[in-house]
Structure 1
């Protein structure tokens, strides 16, 4: 059973509709299909039909324009693009048939050009079984999926894990935060799967005295001020960690520090540093035996907790001194009135690299006031050499920020300061 908005769809519905769509679209084992559908129920019926046929599917966010969706489908070697159409479009140069079906994803591109990730259905089933067997606290909770079901976080962890547990996932529209709160109030022991940005917004909107039963965060590290606000509004706050190539590999069942990613699930292994001083890249090994390099810098404490330090590609080298963007962002968002921030690198002919900053706020903030605040929180080499107040920090549909994209757009002059807020 899956609930989408106010409508319930049982297994019989999806079995019947998936069979109809399988016949209508002529789904064949081993072929790759790209699917971009605005109707969530129809998208999921197509997903089940493609998976059960032993074919491969590339889910595309429903807000993606046709030209961009077609480009993604071609890049992934898909045989057909189903763009709000059951007949679809035959694409040129499709990939050869694969012996078993796969979930196809284009990596987020947060550190460079997106690349194709392919995971077999068997690999995903192993992840789900490990997830459910290890993370038992939500067994009687209602999954509220307030994130894209075309992303592995919403699709695998929100929907497929819920179905495996025998509970009914409830998919809600993320456009109206107050509606999400209403759904949670009306649900029995709700567990919200959503992005850090939405969790932070909900924590701010909750009336005094009201709390969320449980929430899961994933995808990007919570700024410390956001973490504090969300934590104090949740009875249970969870965090999960992974990457496109490996899926979810760690879960924190009781989040007390934003950087504590969680304990490694039994289907995976991770090698990294032993403490902050020896922090190293987190390298994941799964059943395939092939190491997956995450480009995340971290370490494992003696109690087994995996701790995240920074993206290796995000680190900024200022005259030989390392600056972790999160340290800067935490200091910025701790200032009253600041709502969001992203620190990124910019070239500097003297220091090699410098810190640049985009931030949003409830009202215009003068660069002098922000610089004075930061000078009490950060070392001189950590201080941004340029600060631009914008109306909104650019985030991807899954809530992540691509620092590479922000840096490129900044270099092209894409960010104009709001009114009197400004550059240094």
Structure 2
């Protein structure tokens, strides 16, 4: 078992995110806290708006143990809603606005929120959801046209009794391997994630561009980091590569978090339309594997710090971190790892019989930490499959080296079993991604009457290449059983809302 990285730990958490915002509003009232396409909010604005919405929620009976759902894009209204819900002792549920109305209605029914806060652009989608209370905000209105007006409201700022075991937030799994499941996290779990902000070297002067959606663990976690540390959160409407590059310049962005596909696209934009990004200090990345070629290109072109985060919705966000120093050290082989577990996080690699495997041996990755969920909402069968004695089974396959660095080889659900051999898609993808003319790729299995499964590849090409070219390239670099037998060429890969490739949607 390995536990605890060399990550520099922040001070022990003495108060909540909400208390940190209160303090910031007192001590730095006029500093900018949140920027979105419609407004700039100071810390005083943020605090007051959260109080007004909390008063609205109170007037509609929302209290401790209730849930407040948020439906909207990445805008300032999201952190306001989070704070307001927590001030009422309620938890926050981010809804995936990219889903069809029927799917969203089913997810909403599963979590049974007492109140829905939504942006006016999504009124039609909101109308399909069965939620007792509702608050709508129009982007061009004064923030939170209040049911209880700002001028005469007696906002009760007394803290509602809560404890670390109270539910604070619900994520939904990405659905990359099936239907999304609701993942509740406690207040204690959320606060236990805060020291890991140190990986990104934020401070009060940082300006973080939050690209991942707020209903995803990455986007929500960075919002929490911003409110706790006191840095500026920046949300933009145009998240195209050009829009991101422009925003970095316009807002003096110091920190950004991106998935590898977006890093690839941003590099393409900067090569085609060169511009300097002098303010950019740090790029965080994660959610899917990154090729060594792409990582090297990004470090070379952007010229700033890089840090990788590995985690899941069920682990409350990051549990392993490839830190800035790891990208600069004398061990380039570690760049293909996910880093080491954070302080207070234990990891074990287990075999099919549940035994703990030695360093260098591949198996399923199990984590234990205060950040881990206590189970899927109203789904004891699914919970029993992944949670055992406080340990969470990620169903990811990987191994630890002698120094405690974690190497993730793929998901057990994605493993391709062909002719008695196991093929990790990520191993094949790493080889394919280095082939000239391959922009993106994904490897997956399809049923085969003789071999059980056959290895197949989906490729996005930047120049004419054939199936025979791909097979020949892989044959020179992989074992025979790992070489794709079929190749399909696509214009884009199917993805979940959080950017993960949806292999179940691939076919040849």
Instruction: Name the TM-score class by shorter chain.
Output: 0.7 to 0.9
| 1:155 paired residue number | 220
Query: Residue 261 of structure 1 corresponds to which residue in structure 2?
Result: 338
User: 2:79 matched to which residue of 1?
Assistant: 44
* Cα shift at 1:178: 1.4
1:68 — aligned with what?
A: 103
- Contact between 1:66 and 1:83, CA under 8 Å: does it hold in 2? no
Among candidates 209, 222, 237, match of residue 144 of structure 1: 209
Q: Is the Cα–Cα contact under 8 Å of residues 329 and 343 in structure 1 kept in the other structure?
A: yes
Match of 2:461 in 1: 361
Answer yes or no: is the 8 Å Cα contact 2:206–2:232 preserved in 1.
no
Residue range with higher mean Cα deviation, 143-152 or 183-192: 183-192
1:219/1:241 contact within 8 Å kept: yes
CA distance in 1, matches of 2:107, 2:465: 40
Deviation at 1:340, TM superposition (A): 1.0
Task: Give the Cα–Cα distance (whole angstroms) in 1 for the partners of residues 320 and 191 of structure 2.
Answer: 16
Indicate conservation of the 8 Å contact 2:365/2:393, yes or no: yes
User: Deviation at 1:398?
Assistant: 1.1
Q: After the TM superposition, which of the residue ranges 135-144 and 174-183 deviates more from structure 2?
A: 135-144
Q: CA deviation at 1:298?
A: 2.0
Counterpart CA distance in 1 for 2:315 and 2:91 is 17
The question of 1:346 aligning with 2:446 is answered: yes
Once residues 20 and 209 of structure 1 are traced to their aligned partners in structure 2, the CA distance between those partners, rounded to angstroms, is 42
The C-alpha deviation readout for 1:120-158, integer Å capped at 9, x for no partner, is 122101111x213x43633354322122122110111x2
The C-alpha deviation readout for 1:67-96, integer Å capped at 9, x for no partner, is: 33212111233344445469975449xxxx
Secondary structure of the residue aligned to 1:138 is coil
**Structure 2 vs 1, CA of residues 317 and 47 (structure 1 numbering), >3 Å: closer, same or farther?**
same
Change (3 A) 1:224 1:315: farther
TM-score, normalised with respect to structure 2: 0.72
What whole-Å deviation, never above 9, does each CA across 1:234-290 have from its counterpart, x for those lacking one? Answer: 4211101111111221221133555321222123211224433x1222211113771
Q: 1:216 is matched with which residue: 267, 281, 284?
A: 284
Q: Would you say 1:275 and 2:275 are equivalent positions?
A: no
Shift in Å at residue 353 of structure 1? 0.9
1:170 matched to 2:247? The reply is no
Deviations 1:279-317 (A, max 9, x none): 222211113771111111222223332222221221111
Give 3-state SS (helix, strand or coil) of 1:307's partner: strand
The residue correspondences of 1:87-102 to structure 2 (distance < 5 A) are: 90-91=130-131, 100-102=166-168
2:426 to 308, 311, 326: 326
Aligned residue for 1:406?
A: 505
Q: Which runs of 5+ in 1 are unaligned?
A: 93-97, 411-422
- Are the equivalent residues in 1 in contact too, given 2:437–2:464 (CA < 8 A)? no
Q: Is the 8 A contact 2:441 2:459 kept in 1?
A: yes
166, 185, 189: which one pairs with 1:123?
189
SS of the residue 1:111 aligns to? coil
Q: Distance in 1 between matches of 2:208 and 2:469?
A: 43
> Out of 376, 390, 394, which is 2:494 matched to?
394
- Counterparts of 2:167 and 2:67, CA distance in 1: 8
Q: Using the TM superposition, give the Cα deviation of residue 187 of structure 1 relative to its aligned residue in structure 2, in angstroms.
A: 5.0
**Secondary structure, in 3 states, of the residue corresponding to 1:250?**
strand
Change beyond 3 A, Cα 1:187–1:45: closer
Which SS does the other structure have where 1:72 is aligned? Answer: helix
8 Å contact kept, 1:81–1:90 = no
Q: Once superposed, which parts of structure 1, at least 4 consecutive aligned residues long, lie more than 4 Å away? A: 80-83, 85-92, 186-189, 208-212
RMSD: 2.7
Identify the residue that residue 284 of structure 1 maps to in structure 2: 367
Paired position in structure 2 for 1:379:
479
Q: Counterpart in 2 of 1:417?
A: none
| Structure 1 position 22 matched with structure 2 position 69 | no
Q: Measure, in 2, the Cα distance between the counterparts of 1:270 and 1:282.
A: 7
Deviations 1:16-69 (A, max 9, x none): 222333333423221123321247222332222112211122101333343332
Structure showing greater radius of gyration is 2
* Cα distance in 1 between the residues matched to 2:109 and 2:472: 50
Residue 177 of structure 2 corresponds to 111
Q: Distance in 2 between matches of 1:39 and 1:245?
A: 22
On the 8 A contact 1:239/1:251 being kept in 2, the answer is yes
**In structure 1, C-alpha distance between the alignment counterparts of 2:130 and 2:426, rounded to whole Å:** 44
Looking at structure 2, the residues matched to 258 and 406 of structure 1 have their Cα atoms a distance apart, in angstroms, of: 30
Residues of 2 paired with 1:338 and 1:46: CA distance? 43
Q: Matches of 1:331 and 1:367 in 2, distance apart?
A: 15
